[in-house]
Every structure is written in C-alpha cells, then in structure tokens.
Structure 1
Amino acid sequence: MHIIKHSSQEEGKEVMPKLQRRNFLKYLGMGSAFVTAATIAASCNKKDDNNMGGSGVSLGSGDVAVLNYAYALEQLEAAFYTQVVLTPYAGMSDTELDFFKDIRNHEMGHREFFKTALSTNAIAGLEVDFSSIDFTKRASVLATAKAFEDLGVSAYNGAGQYISSSSTGLVYLGLAGKIVSVEARHAAYIRDLIEPGSFAAGDVIDANGLDKSRTPIDVFNIAKTYIKTRINTNTLPK
C-alpha cells in the first residue's frame, strides 16, 4: 500500500515542463485579454480571510470562490494521475500508460490554467493524502480514477449556475464548458477500462440523457477524504 502525502503542485515537475501563461491561454483558445479581465475581477472579489467564518484556507468569494473550487479539484486530479504514471500498477499495458500520461497532462494543464487566471487570488498548493489508494493494484487505481472523473464532471455541471452573468463571468463559463467536456472524455475512457460499454451508465446519466450534477459542498464532502489541507468552504455558493 502506497502512502502518499505531498503538495499537489510539487509532483510532476520532472515529467511535464512548466508551461508559460500564454500557452495555457492558447490551449483554451483565449488571448491575453482574458488574463487581464480575470485578474481585475479577482481583485475586485478578493475578501479578507479575517472576515470569514470557519477555519482553513479561504477560497474567496463570488467568481473567485468558484474558480478556486475548480482549481482545488484540478490539483487533486493532477496529483493522482501523476502518481499513477510514476508508479504504474502491476500489468499496466503500454497503451494504458500512454492514456494515463495524456490524462495527467490534461489535468496539469487545467490546474495551471486556473492558477494563472486567479493570479494572486489563487489558493496555495494543496496537500493531498492518497494513503487509502493501493497504486499497485489496477482495480484500486481504476475505481479511484472513475470516482474522481465522475466527481469532476458533476462538479463542473453543478458550479456553472453560480458563475456571475458579467462579461468576465460568461468567459469563465465558456472555459468551464471546454474543461468539463475533456473531463467527461476521461470519465468515459476510465469507465470502459473497467467495464466495456459502461461509458454512459445510468448512475451518471439521467433519464433525459443529461449528466448529473453536484453542489460544491457535496463535492467537497466527497473529495475531503483525499485532501489533507483544511479548506474553509463557508463562502462557496449554497
């Protein structure tokens, strides 16, 4: 059993070169104007931690809280897939390893994008705890990957409604739509590795053919098993 406790942004430095800000914006089809708008909006929404109830790392308020929420989840996923690639489970095929590397790179790209967009309002790197995951066993890794990907998709689906209707907020919403579509591709692939043909099973797709969603609080209640850093969720949308 692997016991892993480390900052989610420390891993992966050797396997993926640090990309520059312009590359993340190009990757998501945006320009430097977005960073300027995002930074201005973040500064306007910044809130003093001393005025917040509860304890732990403050996510901020308004759009900043929603973006930091997504940033925290991307940190968690990036850390997980980095570990999967660093310590492949017994019997992992070359094809599976290549796909996991792709997923890892996507998650690291998402993580760094949010960090850049949030600028000085970004929360620090989270410390994660994967001690409950046996990275030597395929079943344990795939079950966790499935849980993370399904959680990520439902998190984005549930958070979209809380982004403001400002011009900058609409940009955030469009980018979130691009990211959640990638997360859904990951989820489908992982599900098919576990059981072929299960990519859109009824536990995640409702009777109307729509992906299910979760509130930010519900998502954090599930994810907290793997996040050692204490997070103050009081300013998250209810």
Structure 2
Amino acid sequence: MIKHTNTKHSSGEAEGEITSVVNRRLFLRSAGLATSLGTIVIAAGCKDDDDPIPGTGDAVDLGSGDIGVLNYAYALEQLEAAFYTQVIQTPYNGMTDAEKTILTDIRDHEIVHRDFFKAALADKAIKGLTPNFDSIDFTKRDAVLGAAKLFEDTGVAAYNGAGKLIKNPNYLLLAGKIVSVEARHASVIRDLINPKSADFAGDDIIDMNGMDKAIAPADILMAVKGYVKDTISGPNVGK
C-alpha cells in the first residue's frame, strides 16, 4: 500500500496561504509537496507582467520558460487525475479491496499534483483540459492497468526530460519531489500487472546504467495527444 507522510510548514503564514488555495486534507496526503507551495506561488507571482499567458488561442499554448514547463507538468497531471478519478468512479470488474485502496491513493496524489500546479501558476495556468478516454475500456482490469502503466511511465519520462529545461532551482526541487512519487506509482502499477517480478523496474524503462528514460516535451505531447480533446502546443517550453 502506498504510504503518506504528513509534513509541517515553516510558518503559520505559509500554512495559511496553502490552505486558502487548495484543500488542506489533500495536501496532508501529498507525499511532502505541501512545504514547497508557498515558495513556488511567490516565485510565480514575481514573473514579469509581460510574460505570455498560455491558453489564449484556439490551441492550448503552454507558454515559455519555466512557466511553460510548469504548465506542461500541469497538463499531464490533469490527465492522470482525470484518469484515476474515472477508475475509482467506475471500478473494473473484479477490482479487489487492495487494488481499490492503491488506485484511490494514486488518484489522491494526482489530484494534489494537479491542484498544486493550478494554484502555483495562478493566472498563468492553462485552462482545464478535456480528457478523451474513449479508447480505454474501464470495465476491464487489463485495459485499466495497461493504461495506468502507460500514463505513469510516460509521466516519469516526462519529468526527467523536462528537468534540464528548468532554470529556477525551486522548480527543479519540486519536479524532483513529484517525479519520485510518479516513479512509486509506476512501480506499484507494474507489480499489480505482474506481481513479484522484476518488471517493477523493467529494462523497457531502465537503461544499462540503471537510469530512467528522459523524453523531451514534444515527444511526450505527441504520445498523449490521443487522450485529450484539446490541442496542446508547447514549442517554447523551457525556452
């Protein structure tokens, strides 16, 4: 089962800021992310007013620089949160109590991640995306866990690939905290599919040096475009 770690904020003021933006109960289940919210909100608020505001055209433009990277992560977290919310709302046939507990925990993590980015980006955030899960049969265990494996592996590779584009060290720290949680998700999903095997860190995702894959934003957006109805544009992410 996925464990949760409660964290304490550095000051009452920081905690007040966090709880006013995102549900506090979810932040206490966020695997250590809550302590970073005050920093990232302040840093995002200090961006120049001339920075482009994403999502103002026919396509959803992620924006540029670090804001573009954060919106890129926000888009992926929206997709994952929507997926796991659907999984729990319409459990697949034969879902065990243990599986439901694990998948519920993952859902709650992804909701925290999504709401975290939305709050941090404030008026720089892209709009809420509309998922397209028509290709997934949510009544079948293999289909759901197969999709979960795809989303989690993609999420880890996406954060790894975007890390080098991040200029603000606070954002890089945040990305490191989140990708570690996503990797835990990926491992537990793989174990549900193939219990007690070495597939939790299979050679399809880990290279000969023991490193996870790192995939560029353009390739990730191409890979997930079939799962979202909006057209996402990110040519300037990290630039």
CA contact (8 A) 1:217 1:236 kept: no
Q: Which residue of 1 aligns with 2:116?
A: 113
Q: Which residue of 1 aligns with 2:72?
A: 69
Q: How many residue pairs are counted as aligned between the two chains?
A: 213
Q: SS where residue 205 of structure 1 aligns? A: coil
Query: In the aligned structure 2, how far is the partner of 1:94 from the partner of 1:113?
Result: 28
**What do residues 126-179 of structure 1 show as CA deviations (whole Å, max 9, x unaligned)?**
011100000000000000000000000000000000011xxxx10000011000
Q: SS where residue 129 of structure 1 aligns? A: coil
- TM score, norm. by length of structure 1: 0.83
Counterparts of residues 1-238 of structure 1 (less than 5 Å): 20-21=20-21, 23=24, 24=27, 27-30=33-36, 32-41=38-47, 43-44=48-49, 46-47=51-52, 56-164=59-167, 169-196=168-195, 197=197, 198-237=199-238
**What amino acid maps onto 1:152 in structure 2?**
G
Q: Which residue of 2 aligns with 1:5?
A: none
CA contact (8 A) 1:76 1:227 kept: yes
CA contact (8 A) 2:149 2:186 kept: yes
Query: In the aligned structure 1, how far is the partner of 2:50 from the partner of 2:212?
Result: 30
Alpha-carbon shift at residue 237 of structure 1 (Å): 4.4
Alpha-carbon shift at residue 31 of structure 1 (Å): 5.7
Query: In the aligned structure 1, how far is the partner of 2:33 from the partner of 2:236?
Result: 30
CA contact (8 A) 2:77 2:110 kept: yes
CA contact (8 A) 1:192 1:199 kept: yes
Task: Check 1:48–1:180 CA distance in 2 against 1; reply closer, same or farther (3 A cut).
Answer: closer
Alpha-carbon shift at residue 85 of structure 1 (Å): 0.2
Query: In the aligned structure 1, how far is the partner of 2:182 from the partner of 2:132?
Result: 22
CA contact (8 A) 1:45 1:63 kept: no
CA contact (8 A) 1:55 1:231 kept: no
Query: In the aligned structure 1, how far is the partner of 2:21 from the partner of 2:52?
Result: 25
Q: Which residue of 2 aligns with 1:4?
A: none
Task: Check 1:99–1:49 CA distance in 2 against 1; reply closer, same or farther (3 A cut).
Answer: closer
Q: Which residue of 1 aligns with 2:5?
A: none
Alpha-carbon shift at residue 64 of structure 1 (Å): 0.6
**What do residues 93-141 of structure 1 show as CA deviations (whole Å, max 9, x unaligned)?**
0010011110000000000000011010000100111000000000000
Task: Check 1:48–1:105 CA distance in 2 against 1; reply closer, same or farther (3 A cut).
Answer: closer
Task: Check 1:39–1:147 CA distance in 2 against 1; reply closer, same or farther (3 A cut).
Answer: same
- TM score, norm. by length of structure 2: 0.83
Q: Bigger shift: 223-232 or 147-156?
A: 223-232
- In the alignment, structure 1 segments of 5+ residues that lack a partner are 1-18
